Homo-oligomer: A and B are copies of this chain.
């Protein structure tokens, strides 16, 4: 009897597979207002783990959390010319409050550079107040015409960092520090995602920035997804909001700033990077549930055994869930844990209890082996570490396999139908970039000849990595 697939196979229709998986793994649903989403407990559990891991790295980078208002006077947005141009088409505008029409409409924040600068201008007086390093966890709204859950949503959750520094060099270093030691470190070592660090071209920069650093991930279909950006804002917002400090030698100087963000989009990338035709595969270091212990049947001996295994694994430092819902068919529950991508499943039936063994199912390695119950607490930490490494290796292998070197624009477009192309930036340039854009292909980032992040767009040897993108 052939197994009926739970999900549309990726090869048949990747976008439909994605939507199926998001719904059936109970990650999220569409909200009633177009483009919004309801993040269900299992999906939100992934976000909570992301928050914990990112927050500790952000604090280690010296930033403190704070909270700025959701509602921003419309006039603030217009103070920085490029910024308003970038965000005006996406704004949600509140015109009525408390039963009356407002004198000045207010916008729901699409990002907080403007309102943050309004306060930084008050808080920063002297060089002693710098650097000022602030982060906030918040929701933002950007009206989205072609929404897709997690990837492009009218409302999303994120963290946004905002900092002010005395010198250009200090701001530059801090933006790079966040890019490397917060975002890249987290994505590589917790999300097990191979990500490409690079520099955005002028065309792709954040509205109001002088430099945007990005991390680009290759999804299962070969497209790119931008994951976490860190911007140097130069003195653009400082000049618009008069954010100045008294220097050591007694002069009024504008501060140099950065901003940086990472969002619930990362949940979507987790699906599209690691998912397979059976469902999600959650990296063990991220997983809210690292191991699920499943009672195959509801016998007392089985239930006692799964609970005991649960206790022992918890004591061994594993995040465990015990599935003792014996009133639901075992097969259905197994398919569900597969869909939800829990890294390790330990199945215990009546005969297993008698023989002191359980079936150890590894979602990432794809193995299924009888294992002595006694041995599980000693075994699992290594199994989880191995599968974490395997997942990262698989994602790296895919990017390497599906990235090609090209020398012409036509070759780049052709390559972008299945993966990424690398082309010398000198051979492409802003004009070539504009031509690519007409065909739905974009420069994801520039990388230096030695693989590092370039200091300038026109640094000799720069390579443009081009792809179709979500």
A interface list, Cβ under 8 A from B: 29, 31-33, 36-41, 44-45, 47-48, 64-73, 76, 88-99, 105-106, 108, 115, 118-119, 128, 134, 138-139, 141, 143-145, 154-155, 157, 327-328
Contact = CB atoms under 8 A, between A and B. Distances in A.
A67 B68 CA distance: 20
Contact of A38 (B33, B108, B119, B145): B119
Residue among A31, A94, A106 facing the most chain B CB atoms (10 A cut-off): A94
A44 B69 contact: no
A154 B70 CA distance: 10
Contact of A33 (B32, B69, B99): B69
Contact of A94 (B64, B94, B157): B94
A143 B101 CA distance: 12
A86 to B, nearest CB: 13
Contact of A98 (B31, B45, B118, B145): B145
A71 B33 contact: yes
Given A64-B45, A118-B32, A69 B37 contact: yes
Contact of A119 (B29, B67, B70, B91): B29
B94 A66 contact: no
Nearest to A144: B98
A224 B241 CA distance: 41
Contacts of A92: 71, 94, 96-98
A138 B67 CA distance: 12
A73 B32 contact: yes
B41 A64 contact: yes
B119 A69 contact: no
Contacts of A32: 69, 72-73, 76, 115, 118
Contact of A31 (B40, B69, B93, B138): B69
Nearest to A37: B69
Residue among A36, A91, A98 facing the most chain B CB atoms (10 A cut-off): A98
A69 to B, nearest CB: 4
Closest 10 CB pairs of A and B: A98-B143, A41-B64, A36-B69, A31-B69, A39-B67, A93-B96, A97-B143, A33-B71, A95-B95, A92-B97
A67 B96 contact: no
A190 B108 CA distance: 34
A14 B90 CA distance: 44
A383 to B, nearest CB: 26
A106 B89 CA distance: 18
Residue among A68, A97, A141 facing the most chain B CB atoms (10 A cut-off): A97
Contacts of A90: 98
A162 to B, nearest CB: 12
Contact of A67 (B38, B65, B69, B99): B38
A116 to B, nearest CB: 9
